[in-house]
Structure 1
Amino acid sequence: MADIQDAQTVQTTVAPAKVEVPESKKKVPRGKKAKAELVKPVRKNGAKPAPAAAEAPVVAKTARKTYSENERTQKLAQIEKSIAAGATSKIAVGQAGISEQTYYYWKRAAAPSSDSGDLRDLVALEEENKRLKNLLADRLRKENAELKKKLGLA
């Protein structure tokens, strides 16, 4: 019995055999192929390949429209109404048939004529205000001097 127990202990104490693990493969860089060597994939069902950029049809540009001052003011008014109604400026300009850049250019060109008149009016009002303040100050000084004479304080 002792021999059986010794045999069992011997079996359990025996180390398992080494398992060989293959070394990790080293990555080898691939050679690069020239673009000319690359082969285009063949299309299925006889589909034709897309035309190259050089083969694309040429689209003719439309002639540029020149608007008169009256047409410009009408378009600007139309756009302003659309924007006031709640449309975005991009949508309103598109409905008018002009680009956003043209809209802002026209708007800037039209604005200074009205602003210069407002500025002149503001300067004139400030000068009038200054003149009236001086008149009021003179009258109040005269009244103050008269009251001091009456009361005998001067």
Structure 2
Amino acid sequence: MADENNTGPIVGSVGTPTELKTSAAKTQRSPRRQKTTAEPVRAVSKSTAAKLPNAKPRRYSEQERLEKLKGIETQVTEAKGTLKDAIKGAGISEQTYYQWKRSVKPVDQREEKLLSAGDELADLVQLEAENQRLRKRLAEKLRAENTELRKRLGLE
């Protein structure tokens, strides 16, 4: 059967049809590799997790965070290396270090505020007294300026 879609001139072919097919055939590929089946996840103890580089715990407790932060701070203050080296030695990223450091500070500030409620009241009373004293000083200064201007203008 002739190809109906071919509208070009008919030219006689020199080779046999099998020769044409082999020359136009694609190159053969190597077979695909078989997909590996995923192994079931096993429970890993902390001692095993410390030995395996990819089996790090995803979450640290608050105590572990504080210990790592203190360890990093002591390494930096004792000039044992740079901050980056200390962070890498602790096994966390720089971003994690700064997030932990930021999250620890507000907790410390809240504790100080809770402990110093009596001191806050005393500070408030002291600030109010200072505010009154400054207002009186400002009023005296404005009165003095006002009288001086009146004298200059000859309004008195």
Shorter-chain TM-score: which interval?
A: 0.3 to 0.5
TM-score (norm 2): 0.39
TM-score (norm 1): 0.39
Select the structure of larger CA radius of gyration: 1
